Structures are given as structure tokens and as C-alpha cells.
Amino acid sequence: MSVSGDLLALLACILLQGFFAGTEIALMGADRLVLRAKAAEGDAAAARVLAVLERPARLVSTCLAGVALSSVAAATVLTDLVVRLDLPNPSLIVAICFPPIAIIFAELIPKSLFHQRATVLASRLVAPIVAIATVLRPMLWVTETITRAVARLFGVKDGDGHHGVRREDIQLLLDNSPSGDIHSEEREMILRVFSFSEKLVQDAMVPLIEVVSVPETATVAEAVSIAAENGFSRLPVYRKRVDRMVGVVMHSDLMFATDLTLPVASVMHEIVYVPETKRVDELFIELRRKRQRIAVAVDEYGGGVGLISIEDILEELVGDIEDEFDQRRPLVRRAGENEWAASARVEGEVLLSVTGFEMPEGDYETIAGMMLSRLGHVPAVGEKVLVGGWTIVVTKANERAILEVTLTGPIAGSVPAVR
């Protein structure tokens, strides 16, 4: 082989070594959440990557074998090149020159590049790496057999080499750690992360009866007034009925509209429809990909049942988020001496901690549910319920739901037990 042939062969070996090193990083570092979403949409390559990652040991063995074989080949070619150039001490030259070349050009650079686009590259690299694994299967079988045999000599059984931290391990640490070791906020965040992948749209959405929306026939001026009155940065737009959402209008669209008499439909954006049973992690990826910030949740019959935004999804992880147009209005606030104003959505535990009012036990979670259970109908503004010395009055409602109430407590010490 000529000098130029040796140089080309050396370059090919280094590129091949970099391919195996980078492929391992790309496949092991791919975002499985994104891959699952793509696989659900019918992406065969993403589904194949997930299948390969179910047996990571075989993947790692293939990549390590590829790195080792290409590295040996590169060292052999470099030795032949040094000998062909008739340089003194060829072994010493190879020992000094090859390691930095291999580390920089076949390890560090490829791994860095592949890591930056791991998820995208994983779908493209899975087919060739599976093909190579098939070709190398006899050699891999021999090496795996020897590895298991040696491991058994040290008392390590198959499967004992898994060192990944599982959800159960973290949960066990949380359950058994002293209260002072992990702050309550950190503990809550970890638990939210655990439950995030199990949350459905129906768990995070705002029910349609609580959504402030405008008809598509409303003018821009009317939409501006409604947005300003309620403090929302986005207003859903419906056609004829509120469960038939057709778009969404943004605060910026309203502010920069040149003609306030135009119908709001002329400045609205399209809206995404998703089933209420869709997982929120999958919806988050879908909204980002479509560059949308809000979606309509629909039931099995196609009717709208609620709205969910990027903020609603993120709140499942980090708690309440307020944008620059949100009103800082708590669910429960003191309105006077022994009197509180509350959202009808507020749950019993919150009411108890803030006001001291204990809701009677029943098949409900919110104060609205308790009032509906007692009255048997949707009350009008002004209707009230007496519970254990407390007076609860409806202060805001529509034909479908209770929105706000006031609670007036008894004189301190005179509250009878409520069960």
C-alpha cells in the first residue's frame, strides 16, 4: 500500500472509530420522551430506537467492539505508514502520536457533535448500528459469554450490573430521609416529576365552564374590553356554542389591531384540538412542535370540555405560573372581619387551612361541589347555604356553574363540629 493509501486508510479508521463512539452517545442520550411521541405518530425509526434501548447492553457492546476494532486497525495502519516513511523508532512514534489523535478526532469531537443532536441522529443511526450488531453477533456472543463467566467467578449474577437509578430507589430515599434533609419544596417537585408522565389532559385543563371566551362575531373592541376586565392574555373564540372553539386571539393581536370594529375572527389564530385522555407530556411536545401555546380538549364525541395551555402543563411540574398579564388574585382572600371571598374551585383542605371552615364529608372536593350537592341545582347569585354556623353566599355564577362565594364564620369558639 502506498503512503497516500495508508493516509486514506488511517482517516477511514479514525472516522469509523468516531462513528461508533458518537453513535453510542447519540442513542444512549436520545430524549425518550420525544421518541415515544414520534413513535405514537407512526415514526418507525423512533420506535426502532426505543426497541434497541430496551437492551442497552447489546448496543454498548456493539459500539465498544466497533471502537476497539477500528482503533486496532488505525494503529496498525499508522505503524505501517511510519515504517514506510523509514522513520526511526516506529513503535515509539506510534505510541506518542496515536493516543492524542484517537482521543481528539475519534472520541472527543464525535461525542460532542453527536451529543448536541442526539435525538435526531439516533433515528438515523439506528438502522446501520443494528445491521453492524447483526454482523458482529458471533463475536459479541463470545465476548458476552466470557464476560458472564468471569462475572460469576466474582459472585455477580446476570442483571446485577444494572446501576441505573430507578424511580423506586428515589421514592425509597424520599420516604426514609429525615425531614430536614430534603426541603418540602424539593420533595414536592420530585413527586411532581414522577407523576408528570402519568398526567392526562383532563387532569391539567381548565374546565370549559370556567373559561372566559368570546364569540367569533364579537368585535375587536369587545374582545379588548373582556380581556381587560378579566386580565387574560389569550381569549378563546367560539362559534355559536362555547363548546365549539374555533380559534384563539392573543393580547398582542388586540392591542395592535388598527380597526376595532372588525370581528375578532379576523385576528384570531387557529387552535389545536386534542383528546382529553392524551398525556400532558406528549401534548407539551406537540404544542412546541406546532408552535402553539394553547389547545382545546375534546371528549369522545368531539365536543370541547376544556382548555389547556403550555403554562397549565408546566404548572403540573413547578406549581403556579403567572404571565405578565395574570392578575395576582388568591383563591381565598380575607374580605372583612371573620369573612372570606373564595373561588368556587377551592378545595376543602385549602379552605380549612386559611379560614378554619371544615367542609362536611361527601362525594365532592370543592366548595362548589358541596353547594351543588346540598342545593340540588346551580344557584343564582345571592343564594346561600348554612353549614355548621358558617354562611356561604354565591357572589358570582352563570347558568352552568358557581364561580365565587363568600364565607362568613361564626363567632370564635362557637363553631359546632361539622362531619
pLDDT recorded at residue 22: 92
Q: Which three cell numbers stand for residue 26?
A: 447519540
Residues in a beta bridge with 404: 343, 396
Q: Are strands 402-408 and 390-397 parallel, antiparallel or unpaired?
A: antiparallel
Q: Print pLDDT tens along the chain (419 aa).
A: 678 888 899 999 999 999 999 999 998 888 887 888 788 878 888 889 988 888 787 888 889 889 999 999 999 999 888 888 888 888 888 889 889 998 999 889 999 999 888 888 999 999 999 999 888 888 888 887 887 788 788 876 655 444 455 555 566 666 665 555 566 666 676 777 777 777 888 888 888 877 888 888 888 888 888 877 776 777 888 888 888 888 888 877 787 777 888 888 888 888 889 898 888 888 888 888 888 888 999 888 888 888 898 888 888 777 666 554 444 456 788 888 888 888 888 888 888 888 888 888 888 888 888 888 888 888 889 999 998 889 999 998 877 788 889 999 886 544 443 33
Residue 311 and residue 307: Cα distance in Å, rounded?
Answer: 11
Q: Tell me which CATH code domain 332-408 carries.
A: 3.30.465.10
Greatest CA separation for the chain:
104
Q: Are 390 and 399 in contact (CB under 8 A)?
A: no
As annotated, the residues of the chain forming the CATH 3.30.465.10 domain(s) are 332-408
pLDDT recorded at residue 19: 94
pTM for the complete prediction?
Answer: 0.47
Give the DSSP letter string of 15-64: HHHHHHHHHHHHHHHS-HHHHHHHHHTT-HHHHHHHHHHTSHHHHHHHHH
pLDDT recorded at residue 11: 92
Q: Can you list the alpha helix ranges (DSSP code H) found in 197-309?
A: 201-204, 220-230, 251-255, 280-289
* Helical packing angle, 90-103 and 3-29, nearest 10°: 30
Distant-in-sequence, close-in-space partners of 85: CB < 8 Å, separation ≥ 6: 3
Cα-flanking dihedrals φ and ψ of residue 281, to 5°?
A: -65, -35
Q: Which three cell numbers stand for residue 398?
A: 352563570
As annotated, the residues of the chain forming the CATH 3.10.580.10 domain(s) are 201-318
pLDDT recorded at residue 325: 42
pLDDT recorded at residue 72: 92
pLDDT recorded at residue 113: 92
Number of H helices, E strands in the chain: 17, 12
Tell me: the pLDDT tens digits for 160-208? 444 455 555 566 666 665 555 566 666 676 777 777 777 888 888 888 8
- Residue 190 exposed, middle or buried by CB count within 10 Å (0-12, 13-18, 19+): middle
Q: Where are the beta strands (DSSP E) in 226-371?
A: 234-239, 241-250, 272-275, 294-298, 304-309, 332-336, 339-343
For the beta carbon of residue 208, count every other beta carbon within 10 angstroms. 21
User: 201-318: what fold?
Assistant: CBS-domain (3.10.580)
DSSP state of 108: I
Residue 270 and residue 237: Cα distance in Å, rounded?
Answer: 10
Q: Can you list the alpha helix ranges (DSSP code H) found in 205-242?
A: 220-230
Tell me: the pLDDT tens digits for 252-276? 778 777 788 888 888 888 888 989 8
Q: Which three cell numbers stand for residue 254?
A: 388586540
